[in-house]
Amino acid sequence: MSGTPVKILTVGSAAGSIREMFSKVKAIDAKHGKFDLVLCTGDFFGPPKVDEEYGENDEVMQLLDGSLEAPVECYIMQGQHPLPPPVIEKFAKTGGALNKNVFLLHKSGVMSTAHGLRIACLGGTYEANMYSAAQTLHGFVSPYFTSQTVEKLISNTMTQSIPSSKSKDTSYNSLASIKANTSTSHLIDVLLTNTFPQGITALSNAPLPSPDFTSQLEAEPVAELVSRIKPRYHFAVGVSSGKQGQSPLFWEREPFVWENENGRFTRFISLGAFGGEAAPSTGKKQRWFYAFSITPAAPNESAPPRPVNATGNPLSGGVHRGLKRPMEEDEGENYRWGNVKQGPKKAKAGGSQGKPPDGYKCKICESGDHFITDCPDRAKPKEGYICKICNEPGHFVRDCPTKHQVGDTGGRKPREGYVCRACGSELHFIQDCPTAQSHGPRGGKPPREIAPDECWFCLSNPKLAKHLIVSIGSECYVTLPKGQIIPTHTKSSFPSGKIPTVPGGGHVLIVPITHYPTYASIPPDLSGPIIQETKSYKSALFSFYAKHAAHPVSFEVGRLSAKGGHAHVQVVPVPQTITADTIANAFTSEGTRLGVEFEIEETEREGVTGDRGYFRVELPDGRKLVHWLRDGVPFSIQFGRQVLVGLLGIPERFDWKECSQSDDEDREDAEAFTAAFSPFDPTL
């Protein structure tokens, strides 16, 4: 390792005791610091209030208004609960800064500190049914993470942006400026999660704090994530959807080594909650903080020394989760540096992989025929547990008898309340719908259109955000999107030089007034006026952006699906200092990494003819790139946004939901754009 070591204090769930937690952190910092930063794992705010407002005397509001300050810069995450609405609102406005010293990490965020450390966060907890659900709440309002959350986090580890200054004046007073300092490496220094990786206790002799410590705490997706990003430190709080209300317990695993990674190894630590319950095996209060020193890695450096107590990798395939010793009395103080060597390990008990050694007894049922992880009684939930699929007690979600119920077309039966958008049935998912399959892109008929009151872009929808519309023509209208790429009210928090200065941000959508799924699906006898007005708007935007030293990049996802959709083209201003060739290289390079192949499109038509799905990019110099969507091959509709936020050095603007603003701020942007665009508006 090279460079200056960074001193970090990591703490467990505060569960709403914010002032008291800060007081303890201040005392620890005075005695053992000074710490460069504090990482707060788990539930910082505790359960959100349901029937009462957050008053001015509430610690949450005092934190947000700055009257309750942290003694050291703190980075917090989402735990097992949705975040309080005032916190979400503040996050949307600032990009993460809750007050001068407290920053909220994205649910699937990656940030680089001014020291060069890369810290990743996976907020929320794991619930199998929610993880793979096609339609579920996202962001901080949901207590769960989904497959999309994990995919986004992995994608964020590869997002490239300009490194921040290494000068002595470098600071990290805003989360946005910190996260702009990312690299293209997928490796992470510190990972924060609420859930354990599946199999983490395998190959370990470290004593467990309770016999059923890992029951319901592990998840395979977290194991896959850890295997991808290989953190040097992984902190978790050990909570699950099945054990809400149980206090997290402390456990530190021996380091484990990654093969073929230049001797890289991971330290895994589960932290107890601040002021939490005592461990069942010892009756002692749980360790709730962990201090360590870590040095940013340098390119091409020699392998670090292997810890004397390192084990094999428990996340490698085929590893059996073996016997663990019960927790012994720990007379040491509640403080340890992460690189302190541990004592020698006990020899691991012998025995075959599937059969416990002689003398072993399962702590749950006292049987000697199986390990505790294979105990049949382990599958029985505690009293009060309710299955989230069938809302019945007596079994976990994984064992729910209705989990694999068959719908009327042979696929999995949906939950109560689900409605297939292709035919209106409640007995099958849309992917199992005969109507959707027969009327799909290859079936000769256009996909079923969703109703106007469901479509985000139909002017007849009473829920349409009309305050964002900035121009209406005879065939199309132009609107600012919710959560546009370009920051406006938080622009000062982002790196200068790459953020366009177009009034109101400048990111717009050109939307045909008549509902068509894609531009390519518009009948030829009706498409002429729509195409022409779209081109007129593009030309006007080109001239408008040029006045502000920017030029446009436009893209369209032409996806034909049974869900229906509404054709639109997104147009984003990019500084003229970023050339068309640079933009083209950004799309093709990211495409190569993700298996998205582009070809040059020669046609002048807006969209492309035929019944094939496509993703289309138009560069500032008029060149067009097209990627043909293939049946059965997933394609992210956020691909265009993903490329542009990386190009502009603002990867934290990837998720539009996390960039949304208040209606008043949206109106401000729309009014600023309309006033500046009016001299160029082709409809005026």
Over 106-123, what HEC string results? CCEEEEECCCCCEEEEEC
Quick one: DSSP state of residue 354?
Answer: S
Q: Is residue 403 in some structural domain?
A: no
Contacts of 457 (CB under 8 A, 6+ apart): 464, 509, 511, 515, 566, 568
CB 557 within 8 A of CB 604: no
* Residue 112 CB burial class (10 angstroms; 0-12, 13-18, ≥19): buried
How confident is residue 351, by pLDDT bands cut at 50, 70 and 90?
Answer: very low
- How would you list the strands of the sheet with 614-618, edge to edge? 469-472, 476-479, 508-512, 569-575, 550-558, 614-618, 624-628, 599-600
Q: Which amino acid is at 304?
A: P
Residue 604 pLDDT greater than 80, yes or no: no
CA dist., res. 344 & res. 205, Å (int): 10
CA dist., res. 38 & res. 625, Å (int): 45
How confident is residue 298, by pLDDT bands cut at 50, 70 and 90?
Answer: confident
**pLDDT for the residue numbered 248:** 86
At 130 the three-state DSSP class reads helix
**pLDDT for the residue numbered 142:** 86
How confident is residue 394, by pLDDT bands cut at 50, 70 and 90?
Answer: confident
Ranking 333-347, 506-520, 599-613, 656-670 by mean pLDDT, the lowest is: 333-347
Kindly tell me the sign of the dihedral angle through the C-alpha atoms of 60, 63, 68, 70: positive
How confident is residue 240, by pLDDT bands cut at 50, 70 and 90?
Answer: very low
How confident is residue 319, by pLDDT bands cut at 50, 70 and 90?
Answer: very low
The reply to whether the predicted model has a pTM over 0.85 is no
248, 265, 294 - which closes a domain:
294
CB 545 within 8 A of CB 573: yes
Q: Is residue 415 in some structural domain?
A: no
Where are the strands (E) in 17-130, listed by range?
37-40, 74-76, 97-99, 102-104, 108-112, 118-122
Residue 183 pLDDT greater than 60, yes or no: no
For tokens 């959709």, the residue is: 565
Helix or strand holding residue 547 (H, E)? helix 524-547
* Residue 511 CB burial class (10 angstroms; 0-12, 13-18, ≥19): buried
**pLDDT for the residue numbered 191:** 98
CA dist., res. 126 & res. 36, Å (int): 31
Residue 634 pLDDT greater than 80, yes or no: no
Residue 164 pLDDT greater than 70, yes or no: no
* 290: number of Cβ within 10 Å: 26
Ranking 318-327, 363-372, 520-529 by mean pLDDT, the lowest is: 318-327
Residue 427 pLDDT greater than 60, yes or no: yes
| Helix residue ranges per DSSP H, 240-352 | none
Q: Which amino acid is at 312?
A: G
**pLDDT for the residue numbered 49:** 78
**pLDDT for the residue numbered 367:** 81
- For the chain, helix, strand, coil in percent to 5 are 25, 15, 60
Is the preceding omega at residue 34 within 30 degrees of 0, hence cis?
yes
For tokens 């505060």, the residue is: 14
- Paired with 337 in beta bridges are 291
Task: Quote the distance between the C-alpha of residue 284 and its chain's center.
Answer: 35
How confident is residue 261, by pLDDT bands cut at 50, 70 and 90?
Answer: confident
How confident is residue 47, by pLDDT bands cut at 50, 70 and 90?
Answer: confident
Q: How large a percentage of the chain has pLDDT more than 90?
A: 43
Q: Is residue 24 in some structural domain?
A: yes
Q: How many domains does the chain have?
A: 2
- Paired with 97 in beta bridges are 103
- 485-495, pLDDT tens digit by residue? 999 987 666 76
Residue 332 pLDDT greater than 60, yes or no: no
Residue in 579, 576, 554 with CA at minimum distance from that of residue 497? 576
At 51 the three-state DSSP class reads coil
Q: Helices (H), strands (E): how many in the chain?
A: 12, 23
For tokens 């209208």, the residue is: 477
Ranking 127-136, 340-349, 569-578 by mean pLDDT, the lowest is: 340-349
Q: Is residue 549 in some structural domain?
A: yes
238, 260, 294 - which closes a domain:
294
Ranking 157-166, 310-319, 325-334, 570-579 by mean pLDDT, the lowest is: 325-334
For the domain that residue 65 is a member of, what is the CATH number?
A: 3.60.21.10
Rounded mean pLDDT of 594-609?
71
Q: How large a percentage of the chain has pLDDT more than 70?
A: 71
* 455: number of Cβ within 10 Å: 18
How confident is residue 562, by pLDDT bands cut at 50, 70 and 90?
Answer: very low
CA dist., res. 434 & res. 83, Å (int): 40
CB burial readout 628-652, b (16+ within 10 A) else e: bbeeeeebbebbbbbbbbbbbbbbb
How confident is residue 456, by pLDDT bands cut at 50, 70 and 90?
Answer: confident
**pLDDT for the residue numbered 217:** 78
**pLDDT for the residue numbered 632:** 67
Where are the strands (E) in 152-264, listed by range?
190-193, 196-197, 218-219, 233-236, 251-252, 256-257
- In terms of residue numbers, what domain contains 608? 466-677
Helix or strand holding residue 291 (H, E)? strand 289-294
CA dist., res. 572 & res. 500, Å (int): 9
Ranking 275-279, 307-311, 602-606 by mean pLDDT, the lowest is: 602-606
Q: Which amino acid is at 17?
A: S
CA dist., res. 505 & res. 573, Å (int): 8
Task: Phi first, then psi: give them for residue 675, nearest 5 degrees.
Answer: -65, -40
294, 310, 330 - which closes a domain:
294
Residue 414 pLDDT greater than 90, yes or no: no
Rounded mean pLDDT of 144-148?
89
Q: Is residue 661 in some structural domain?
A: yes
CA dist., res. 531 & res. 604, Å (int): 10
**pLDDT for the residue numbered 349:** 37
Q: Is residue 390 in some structural domain?
A: no
How confident is residue 373, by pLDDT bands cut at 50, 70 and 90?
Answer: low
Pairing relation of β-strands 251-252 and 74-76? unpaired
Residue 103 pLDDT greater than 70, yes or no: yes
Cα dihedral value 214, 215, 216, 220, nearest 10: 50
CA dist., res. 130 & res. 132, Å (int): 6
Ranking 33-37, 139-143, 470-474 by mean pLDDT, the lowest is: 139-143
In angstroms, the first-to-last Cα distance of the chain is 63
The more confident residue out of 7 and 559 is 7
Q: Is residue 179 in some structural domain?
A: yes
Cα dihedral value 184, 189, 190, 191, nearest 10: 50
Rounded mean pLDDT of 558-581?
84
Contacts of 187 (CB under 8 A, 6+ apart): 118, 157, 229, 230, 231, 264, 297
In angstroms, what CA-CA distances link 468 with 62, 85, 451, 516?
Answer: 32, 23, 21, 21
Which of 175-184, 211-220, 277-286, 528-537 has the highest mean predicted lDDT (pLDDT)?
528-537
Residue in 12, 2, 66, 64 with CA at minimum distance from that of residue 38? 12
DSSP per residue, 511-537:
EESS--SSGGGS-HHHHHHHHHHHHHH
For tokens 């201090």, the residue is: 291
CB 469 within 8 A of CB 670: yes
- What is the token pair recorded at 67? 């009257």
How confident is residue 239, by pLDDT bands cut at 50, 70 and 90?
Answer: low
CB 442 within 8 A of CB 468: no
At 292 the three-state DSSP class reads strand
Pairing relation of β-strands 233-236 and 190-193? parallel
Residue 533 pLDDT greater than 90, yes or no: yes
How confident is residue 215, by pLDDT bands cut at 50, 70 and 90?
Answer: low
* Mean per-residue pLDDT of the chain: 79
CA dist., res. 319 & res. 302, Å (int): 29
Rounded mean pLDDT of 343-367?
55
Pairing relation of β-strands 102-104 and 37-40? unpaired
**pLDDT for the residue numbered 10:** 98
Residue 554 pLDDT greater than 80, yes or no: yes
Q: Is residue 437 in some structural domain?
A: no
CB 554 within 8 A of CB 519: no
